[in-house]
A and B are shown apart, each in its own frame.
Chain A
Amino acid sequence: MQAVQLLKKIFRQRDRGQIPFAELFKRFQDILEKNNAAMELIADMDGKMGGDFVFDRKYLSDSVRKLKELVLANAYDLNFITNNQFLAIYDIIEKLAKELEVELSGQMVIRETRRIYYFHEIDEGMEDTVGYKAYNLSKMVNLPKIDFPNGFVAAISCYRDYLAYNNLFDKIASLIEAYRKEEKSVESVSTAIQLMVLGGDIPPNVRREILNAINKTCHGKVEESYFSVRSSAVGEDGEMSFAGLHDSFLNVRSGELLSAFKKVLASLYNPASLAYRLKMNLFQMEMAMPVLYQTMVVSRTAGVLYTLDPNNPDRPECILSGNWGLGMVVVEGQAAVDTFYVSRHTPHAVTNQKISSKKWMLAPLKTGQARKVPGEIQDKPCLSPQEAASIVEAGLILERFFKKPLDVEWSIDESGMLWIIQARALKVSHTKHTLREDLSDVLKAHRILLKDQGMIAYRGIGAGPVRIIAAGDDLTDFPAGSVLVSRYAPPRLAEIIPRASAIITDIGTTTGHMATVAREFKVPTIMGAETATQVLKPDQLITVDAERKVIYEGRIEELLHHQLLEESAFEVTQEFQVLRRILKKIAPLYLTDPNAPEFNPRACRTFHDIMRFVHEKAFQTLLQTGSNPRAFLKRGGKRLKSQIPLDLILIDLGGGISREADSQTHVSPDQITSVPMQTIWAGLSSPGTWNMDPIPVDFKGMMSSVTRTQSSDALGNNLPGVNLGVIGTDYVNLSLPLGYHFTVVEAAVGSRPENNYISFRFAGGVTDITRRSRRATLLQTILEQAGFKVHVTGDLVNARAIDLTDKQIRRNLYLIGRLIGFTRQLDVMLKHDADIERYLAKFINQAKPPEEDQPSNDKEG
């Protein structure tokens, strides 16, 4: 086997030289072009997630087909220039394409059938695998102010394995048949099935995996832990229809965790559930029972929140009921409870309350039994006004996210912390606000602050106080429920998006990163509204109608209600769900680090990954065609002639160098016509940037460099020791093994911001790892301030900026140019951590970018 591999390698190496450079070059250009086309297509599809477009299946299948063609063509080009080094890509593309085809047909892709899923592992469209209860919980994982007990779900495959292991499928089917033929009653069929299910054995692998997950969930402290074990039903509208039909077990201890699993499975066949399913014809296929395990909250007070009064949904009030101890008595309506009416408006004041004499409660933990409420607290409210407000606040965050009135089970533990147990849709009676026409009078009473400006990135209605975020503002105290208003749409704002009730930016696109995140968290968003930061005032209460692009003064409760009670939100249409699912296999970029060992075709999970992989490998192939400057000069490369002692060879992809230099072997900087290269050069050659003095290398630094491996290895590229710039009118790929450093810059300046990007990688340097890490920290600080997304591993810096306006990309490229010069041998200087600050200040104080219109306070990238 090894011999064959070796032969193949030798064969390849011999062959490689045979592809003429001109051909290789042309293919590389092709790859770049198709890459851009594919990225535009992906951005276009992603933009459709905002709900502002009407699209159909044809659009989806056409887009996927075109995308596949582009990706395939690129894979072909790459394999052509590398003598089929990456044949595995074809399999990956085919596999992805097949999965996409199935998604497009509206069927569920058969996913890996794992038995256990933790909440963060539950993906879009897995409701049939983990059941609705677990699915809804998994959606809340990233929401602010929402905490729910740790746990996992024993998925549908556990249920199936259990039935198969105990030979129950046929037995159950024949009993059901007997009921259908009216030979047996529901009760007797139900009893018979439940007895069979309870009497079965759990298959060893299921048992092992459940116990393992339990162990993990309580960090090994199984003996001291209590769990809730509950049904997570699968089926149409699961949560709503089956509410209360299945069993839940609270306070389950280690010895009973597996029998509770059986009990929950059996409850699938209790008479009420069985009758309901038979009536709804939901049998066999749809009938399955994932089981949800969560740690118990040591509950001081627990209860239920209705985010609207079901019988009077037009009132801006929530209904909150609770009792001491575990919440079960409230859910089942057994005992006296306290009821609070709480305003939906901040600060969520309690408008009315009925405090009962609560004689009985379910004790938390240990017994879980009903017990007498101690006399001194029987007549006291079980919640403070602050607690009521915080429950309502959390409920409204969930309501905004699910876009439905909700029924939320909550619990407050002994330390006063709020836990969400579950949330499901609340059925409300008809409301007078269901028709839009009814709203015109209400809307007329509100002043319009902005209208018809910008584009909708995500449809919906949001309201709250204005919070204008400027560059450098601390984001940690962004108040939940505020309207995020910003001049730009820099990636760093992504972290506060889940807390915003709506978003408005002056500048930005519906296909950028921020818009994508806004859609993920379902935050109504208008991008590019031009004057929002001027017109809107901090703390001003506004309502954002991101359906008709109107921003009103004040909070228009009727409009918010209207959205909540609307028949069906656009996201529930099948086309949206299909788009959402296919985008997961298309748009995300997981392969961000070309130096990682995972940077290979097998690791490509999306079309975007494949495009990225092909691009990177094609570039490396181009570079590997020569190991010294002469090799590239011979092929039409031109040496850059300048004052800066940097031996840089430029290869023109077309439009990168002025035609007047056609016959020359040298070019001067002013003959560069590549926009990004020009800008980088302007930065690099700005006064004071390139340190001309010899750098003093101290002994310690020098010695450690002796034992260092070649720095380009750190970038994993095996690139030649030639400073090479591959440039086109709007493209640059600079590869600079400067001394002991290695810098790779790649940038494209597209016609639209969504096609713009800069990637910057930096590694190596004479001196020990501590100093190199200091330099990495310095670079990270500078780049993050400029709006880059930066990833540092050791002394390796990986930075990326996307979705930049024309001005931003120029500014950032200029900055990159300066960084290349500035950090050239900086690591040697960084002797102490304190030096980082000093050099940071020095860098910032040096020559400012040349543009006159640079506002100094908007570094947002």
Chain B
Amino acid sequence: MSERLEVLLLDDEPIVGKRLKPALAKIGCNVEVFEDPREALERIDQKDFDIVVTDVRMDEIDGIEILEHVRQKSSRTKVIMITGYAMMSLARKAMEKGAFDFIAKPFKPDELRRVIARAADDLGLSVDFGTGDDNESNI
């Protein structure tokens, strides 16, 4: 079993955390979910996360600010942005500012898992996708 990835997940829509937390836990992530950007920022100051997943558009503090804050604190942490499908310009801006990647809502949990796997790879860590999947003799 590989080391667990520390992931912070921020989206002001509760549904996102609710659906993603179990999906990410299944691939061996420790996930902390936040809906309030302020609380998320506080937590980021306290703890080193491997990966931060944040929505771009939130009411009070937007995802770009979160990105900048994380990058300031640690250049090691990978930031993955979640964007609405009409927000491509913001996504581009985020990439310029050092986001690892972005993913457009609505998306499948699997898509995010794949991006996280790549981020983990970049960090020299690995994600455990395995739940019996090694047994592929008949494919």
Contact of A54 among B106, B136, B139 (CB under 8 A): B106
Known contacts A437-B131, A444-B132: A56-B137 contact under CB 8 Å: no
Please give me the residue from chain A that is nearest to B20 by CB atom: A54
Q: Does B131 lie within 8 Å of A443, measured CB to CB?
A: yes
Interface residues in A62-93 (C-beta closer than 8 Å to B): 62
- C-alpha gap A574/B13 in the complex (Å): 11
The yes or no answer to B16 lying at the interface (CB within 8 A) is: yes
Known contacts A440-B132, A570-B19: A59-B105 contact under CB 8 Å: yes
- C-alpha gap A451/B135 in the complex (Å): 11
Contact of A448 among B20, B86, B106, B135 (CB under 8 A): B135
The yes or no answer to B109 lying at the interface (CB within 8 A) is: yes
| Chain B residues, CB < 8 A from A441 | 132
Q: Does B138 lie within 8 Å of A57, measured CB to CB?
A: no
Please give me the residue from chain B that is nearest to A442 by CB atom: B132
| Chain A residues, CB < 8 A from B107 | 53-54
The yes or no answer to A12 lying at the interface (CB within 8 A) is: no
Interface residues in B99-139 (C-beta closer than 8 Å to A): 105-109, 112, 130-139
Q: Does A48 lie within 8 Å of B135, measured CB to CB?
A: no
Q: Does B134 lie within 8 Å of A55, measured CB to CB?
A: no
| Chain A residues, CB < 8 A from B19 | 54, 570, 573
Please give me the residue from chain B that is nearest to A549 by CB atom: B110
The yes or no answer to B71 lying at the interface (CB within 8 A) is: no
- C-alpha gap A48/B108 in the complex (Å): 10
- C-alpha gap A377/B122 in the complex (Å): 74
The yes or no answer to A439 lying at the interface (CB within 8 A) is: yes
Q: Does A440 lie within 8 Å of B130, measured CB to CB?
A: yes
The yes or no answer to A575 lying at the interface (CB within 8 A) is: yes
Q: What 1/0 flags go to B1-40 for Cβ under 8 Å of A?
A: 0000000000101011011100000100000000000000
- C-alpha gap A859/B56 in the complex (Å): 49
Contact count band on B: 20 to 34
- C-alpha gap A570/B20 in the complex (Å): 11
Q: Does B131 lie within 8 Å of A58, measured CB to CB?
A: no
Known contacts A59-B84, A440-B130, A443-B131: A54-B138 contact under CB 8 Å: no
Contact count band on A: 20 to 34
| Chain B residues, CB < 8 A from A56 | 11, 13, 15-16, 105-106
The yes or no answer to A708 lying at the interface (CB within 8 A) is: no
Q: Does B134 lie within 8 Å of A58, measured CB to CB?
A: no
Q: Does A53 lie within 8 Å of B106, measured CB to CB?
A: yes
* Residue of B85, B106, B139 with highest tally of chain A CB at under 10 A: B106
| Chain A residues, CB < 8 A from B131 | 436-437, 439-440, 443, 548
- C-alpha gap A53/B133 in the complex (Å): 22
Q: Does B18 lie within 8 Å of A448, measured CB to CB?
A: no
Q: Does A451 lie within 8 Å of B139, measured CB to CB?
A: yes
Contact of A59 among B11, B106, B130 (CB under 8 A): B106
Q: Does A573 lie within 8 Å of B106, measured CB to CB?
A: no
The yes or no answer to A447 lying at the interface (CB within 8 A) is: yes
| Chain B residues, CB < 8 A from A448 | 132, 135-139
The yes or no answer to A187 lying at the interface (CB within 8 A) is: no
The yes or no answer to A646 lying at the interface (CB within 8 A) is: no
Please give me the residue from chain A that is nearest to B55 by CB atom: A56
The yes or no answer to A557 lying at the interface (CB within 8 A) is: no
Contact of B106 among A55, A436, A440, A574 (CB under 8 A): A55
| Chain A residues, CB < 8 A from B16 | 54, 56
Q: Does B84 lie within 8 Å of A439, measured CB to CB?
A: no
| Chain B residues, CB < 8 A from A48 | 106
Shortest CB-to-CB span from B117 to chain A, Å, is 15
| Chain B residues, CB < 8 A from A59 | 84-85, 105-106
Shortest CB-to-CB span from A311 to chain B, Å, is 26
| Chain B residues, CB < 8 A from A444 | 132, 134-135
Q: Does A54 lie within 8 Å of B135, measured CB to CB?
A: no
| Chain A residues, CB < 8 A from B57 | 58
Please give me the residue from chain B that is nearest to A553 by CB atom: B138
- C-alpha gap A573/B130 in the complex (Å): 27
Shortest CB-to-CB span from A560 to chain B, Å, is 15
Interface residues in A234-282 (C-beta closer than 8 Å to B): none
Q: Does B84 lie within 8 Å of A443, measured CB to CB?
A: no
Q: What 1/0 flags go to A424-437 for Cβ under 8 Å of B?
A: 00000000000011
| Chain B residues, CB < 8 A from A573 | 15, 18-19
- C-alpha gap A640/B106 in the complex (Å): 48
- C-alpha gap A685/B84 in the complex (Å): 51
| Chain B residues, CB < 8 A from A437 | 26, 131
Shortest CB-to-CB span from A78 to chain B, Å, is 28
Please give me the residue from chain B that is nearest to A45 by CB atom: B106
Q: Does B13 lie within 8 Å of A57, measured CB to CB?
A: yes
Please give me the residue from chain B that is nearest to A51 by CB atom: B19
- C-alpha gap A173/B105 in the complex (Å): 48
Q: Does A439 lie within 8 Å of B15, measured CB to CB?
A: no
Contact of B84 among A58, A442, A449 (CB under 8 A): A58
Q: Does A54 lie within 8 Å of B84, measured CB to CB?
A: no
- C-alpha gap A744/B131 in the complex (Å): 55
The yes or no answer to A413 lying at the interface (CB within 8 A) is: no
| Chain A residues, CB < 8 A from B135 | 443-444, 446-448
The yes or no answer to A730 lying at the interface (CB within 8 A) is: no
Shortest CB-to-CB span from B27 to chain A, Å, is 10
| Chain A residues, CB < 8 A from B109 | 54
Shortest CB-to-CB span from B87 to chain A, Å, is 10
The yes or no answer to A52 lying at the interface (CB within 8 A) is: yes
* Residue of B13, B85, B132 with highest tally of chain A CB at under 10 A: B132
Contact of B13 among A53, A58, A443, A450 (CB under 8 A): A58
Contact of B15 among A54, A443, A447 (CB under 8 A): A54
- C-alpha gap A575/B26 in the complex (Å): 23
Q: Does B138 lie within 8 Å of A62, measured CB to CB?
A: no
Q: Does A55 lie within 8 Å of B137, measured CB to CB?
A: no
| Chain B residues, CB < 8 A from A450 | 139
Please give me the residue from chain B that is nearest to A447 by CB atom: B138
Shortest CB-to-CB span from B18 to chain A, Å, is 6
Contact of B108 among A52, A446, A550 (CB under 8 A): A52
Contact of B132 among A53, A439, A570, A575 (CB under 8 A): A439
Shortest CB-to-CB span from A724 to chain B, Å, is 40
- C-alpha gap A459/B44 in the complex (Å): 34
| Chain B residues, CB < 8 A from A52 | 108
Shortest CB-to-CB span from A297 to chain B, Å, is 42
- C-alpha gap A646/B112 in the complex (Å): 58
- C-alpha gap A548/B23 in the complex (Å): 11
Q: A54-B108, A444-B135, A447-B138 are known contacts; what are 13 more A-B pairs with Cβ within 8 Å? A: A48-B106, A52-B108, A54-B112, A56-B105, A58-B84, A62-B84, A62-B85, A439-B132, A443-B135, A444-B132, A446-B132, A448-B137, A450-B139
The interface of chain B, by Cβ under 8 A from chain A, is: 11, 13, 15-16, 18-20, 26, 57, 84-86, 105-109, 112, 130-139
The interface of chain A, by Cβ under 8 A from chain B, is: 48, 52-59, 62, 436-437, 439-444, 446-451, 548, 550, 570, 573-575
The 9 closest A-B pairs by CB, nearest first: A443-B132, A55-B106, A56-B13, A53-B106, A444-B132, A440-B131, A575-B15, A54-B19, A440-B132
User: 18 interchain pairs (CB within 8 A)?
Assistant: A53-B108, A54-B112, A56-B11, A56-B105, A58-B57, A58-B84, A62-B86, A437-B131, A440-B132, A441-B132, A443-B131, A444-B132, A446-B135, A448-B136, A449-B138, A451-B133, A550-B133, A570-B19
